[in-house]
Amino acid sequence: MEHDRQTTTLRRREALAAAASGLGLLWTASCGRRESSAAATAEQTSASCTLTRELTEGPYWIDTSLTRRDITEDREGVPLRLVLTVQDARTCRVLEGADVEIWHADAAGEYSGFDGGAGGRTSTRYLRGHQKTGAKGRAVFDTIYPGWYRGRTPHIHLKVHVGGNAVHTGQLFFRDSVSAAVYRTRHYRSRGEAETGNAEDMIYESASRLALRRRRAGGYVGRMTLNVET
């Protein structure tokens, strides 16, 4: 009998020890999950994106409030759709409601507002416009591939405004091979290939080159992410 009581007591102690061990494992696992979650949150908080380099505004900017997706007006050329995503460079989070503004030359190398001969000012406003970014931080423009003019490689100017303040001024560029192909098409060919390529342009920034792909409907779609300081 005494032996049976001792055996029963040992079994109870073993059961209690096992239960305590199980609780310890559960507590450890719970702490581990909390620590992992905290680490992930800290990593997200400390995330950062490379700030998109700013480039000169140039002489052809005009202060307008033309909010529109299609900025072509009567200009003819190879269709180009721009999809521009704006992010906060400190957090990598997209910015909803940012105002993206673009302007560029037409197929003949002319800027609206400055096409009066010898750079004379006019009231034209083709190939200019603003768009607000949506919930995914994107602004979309329908335009044409820009023409070239002497001394510059083909490019598109842009500004990003947040809360009424200009937080980024830059330019978007293209591969020379794509420009050469575009300038052989009917709306551009009379002027020939661009006199200045990317390598000869003093302002060209390779990191600001658009990622282009052909569209089934014709022309191209170009994408770029703009990391800005707000």
Q: What is the per-residue DSSP string for 109-163?
A: SPPTTS-SSTT---S--TTEEEEE--TTSEEEEEEEPPP--TTS-SEEEEEEEET
pLDDT score recorded for residue 22? 47
222 and 117 in a common domain:
yes
Q: What is the mean pLDDT of the chain?
A: 86
- Number of domains, the chain: 2
108 and 191 in a common domain:
yes
184 and 103 in a common domain:
yes
pLDDT score recorded for residue 148? 98
The answer to whether residue 105 is domain-embedded is yes
pLDDT for residue 73 is more than 70 = yes
Query: pLDDT tens-digit profile of 98-144?
Result: 999 999 999 999 999 999 987 689 999 999 999 999 999 999 999 99
pLDDT score recorded for residue 171? 98
The answer to whether residue 23 is domain-embedded is yes
Range of the domain at 34: 1-46
195 and 95 in a common domain:
yes
pLDDT for residue 5 is more than 90 = no
Average pLDDT (19-45) is: 43
108 and 37 in a common domain:
no
93 and 33 in a common domain:
no
The answer to whether residue 57 is domain-embedded is no
The answer to whether residue 53 is domain-embedded is no
187 and 107 in a common domain:
yes
pLDDT score recorded for residue 119? 66
pLDDT score recorded for residue 217? 87
The answer to whether residue 20 is domain-embedded is yes
The answer to whether residue 209 is domain-embedded is yes
Could you tell me the sign of the dihedral formed by the alpha carbons of 45, 46, 47, 52, in that order?
positive
pLDDT score recorded for residue 48? 65
